[in-house]
Amino acid sequence: MSEPVSGEAADAVDRWDRIFEILAAEPRRQIVDALLDAPAGESVPLPEVATNPSIDTDLERVRLRLRHHHLPLLERERIVEWEREPLRAYRGCNFEDAGLVLQSLYANAGALPDRLALGCRTLERERRGGDRGSELSG
């Protein structure tokens, strides 16, 4: 029989589940990725950074999904803060949670199979030995 999970351990498990939910959608990953490159306190323009340049995308449709789905989720988890006009995103107080997970993935880009790396500009850049800043704080 297994021992009951402590409240602290259950909170950590729940936090991991929420981080993976946050990173499960391409627009949210793209926003976190863009904010990794932005200096602390700076914003990134939306919907432009929320799209993958390798995929043809309707920006108005992305803008609508951002406002009504993706940004509220990111804001609820305090990963980002955002403004409506102009539509922009900033790092939230919990940004580091999602940012560190992506940075860990990027640091191991060479170990990923092509089927997971192709089409992701950051993973492709990392596999080519591209330079990305390692500081989350700017």
SS3 annotation, 81-137: EEECCCCEEEECCCHHHHHHHHHHHHHCHHHCCHHHHCCCHHHHHHHCCCCCCCCCC
Res. 3 pLDDT band, cuts 50 70 90:
low
The Cα–Cα gap between 65 and 17 comes to: 22
pTM of the model: 0.82
pLDDT of residue 5: 61
**Mean pLDDT score across all residues of the chain:** 87
Segment 88-130, tens digit of pLDDT: 999 999 999 999 999 999 888 888 888 887 777 778 778 888 6
pLDDT more than 90, % of the chain? 58
CA 39 to CA 137: how far, in whole Å? 8
